[in-house]
Amino acid sequence: MSIFRSPAFLRRVLLVDAAACALMGAVLAAASGTIAGWTALPHSLLLVAGVALLPIAGFIGFVATRDQISEPAVWLIVVGNGAWVVASIWLLVGAGLSPNALGHVLVGGQALAVGVLAELEFFGVRNLSAATA
């Protein structure tokens, strides 16, 4: 059996995603002014992103802790994570912002982490669907 076909694998990835969203959201919301100074990213952008991540983290955690993982909910999470990655890339190349090197590292690094989580969730839910079909 492939590791990706295990419901436990998908549940663990979702829990990591929820924890990462909650942590990043809390840090951005609480320290957006400081982070803005370090990264040359707009304070308001960081604050709104941080606040937005908190209910997202709650939703992902809710999905991960159900007895049966909802496949449509996981697909929504995968699409949402993909949209976050695209938006992050756009912030760096098309939004007219001028983050400094640390800003590029922050935005690029979190986009990479979110992309990896999205891919793991994609494989997990796709193979979970195949296993139950």
Predicted confidence (pLDDT) per residue in 7-43, tens digit:
799 999 999 999 999 999 999 999 999 999 999 999 9
pLDDT, residue 129, reads: 63
Q: Is the pLDDT of residue 1 over 70?
A: no
How does pLDDT run across 63-76, given as a tens digit for each residue?
Answer: 999 999 999 999 99
Distance from chain centroid for Cα 72: 17
Report how far residue 12's alpha carbon sits from residue 123's, in angstroms, rounded to the nearest whole number.
Answer: 13
pLDDT at residue 132 greater than cutoff 80: no
Helix or strand run (H / E) with residue 98: none
Give the pLDDT of residue 10.
Answer: 95
- pLDDT on residue 2: 65
As a whole number of angstroms, the distance between CA 131 and CA 1 comes to 10
Q: List, for residues 51-66, the tens digit of each pLDDT value.
A: 999 999 999 999 999 9
Distances (CA, A) of 48 to 7, 45, 103, 125, 129: 33, 5, 16, 29, 35
pLDDT, tens digit (0-9, with 9 covering 90-100), for 80-128: 999 999 999 999 998 889 999 999 999 999 999 999 999 999 999 988 7
Predicted TM-score (pTM) of the model is 0.91
- Domain ranges in the chain are 3-132
Assign 47 a pLDDT band (cuts: 50, 70, 90): very high
